[in-house]
Amino acid sequence: MVKNYKIDNVDIKILNILKNDAKKPYTEVAKQVFVSPGTMHVRMKKLEDMGIVTGSSLRLDYTKLGFDITCFLGIHLQKSSLYNEVVEELKKVGEVVTIRLTTGNYNIFAKIYCRDTGHLQDILHDKIQQIEWYRQYRNIYFVGQKLE
């Protein structure tokens, strides 16, 4: 962990550029913020060491892969202490793309992509409902297109 490192305007500019296009080469970002490529790498390393930058991710257009249904699933657990165990099991279900801890009626809110309603039924019956700690589920709503 880097200590006594302060974020400045150059760091903010770097983060703003990369949050819009994480694949942009550091040499191009360095040119845009008027620093050397070496400085750019040092700054990124410090931002990673500070825990501000935690990695990069790949965003997919699931509709182009044939997943036309988006389902939001609210899960109520009998005991909130089961949260971590259930999350680990949900991570094993490939169609589950987002898992969030919530408050209110549900302990977990999950986002699922499916090819069609038959596929969704298969996921619920063959995968989700088979999780040992799984107690109750409610489908919040379905949409036929990506919501983001």
pLDDT (tens digit per residue) in 73-111: 888 877 777 888 889 999 999 999 999 998 888 888 899
Please check whether residue 55 lies inside any domain of the structure. Answer: no
Tell me the C-alpha distance between 69 and 114, whole Å. 5
- Interatomic CA distance for residues 92 and 94, integer angstroms: 6
Torsion of CA 91, 96, 97, 99, to 10 degrees: -60
Average pLDDT of span 6-26: 91
Residue 148 lies in a domain: no
Residues of the domain holding 40:
9-49
Residues 44, 20, single domain; the answer is yes
H helices within the chain, ranges in order? 9-20, 26-33, 37-49, 83-90, 117-122
Amino acid at 77: L
The model's pLDDT over 105-145, given as tens digits with 9 standing for 90+, comes to 888 889 999 999 899 999 988 998 887 766 444 444 333 44
Query: Residue 135 falls within a domain, yes or no?
Result: yes
Is residue 30 located within the same domain as residue 80? no
- Rounded to whole angstroms, the Cα distance separating 67 from 48 reads 34
Q: Clarify whether residues 44 and 92 are in a common domain.
A: no
User: How high is the pLDDT of residue 133?
Assistant: 67
Task: Kindly report the pTM of this predicted structure.
Answer: 0.65
Residue 98: Cβ-neighbour burial (10 angstroms; 0-12, 13-18, 19+): exposed
One domain, residues 66 and 122: yes
Residues 70, 130 within the same domain: yes
Residue 27 belongs to a domain: yes
What φ, ψ does residue 92 adopt, rounded to 5°?
-80, -15
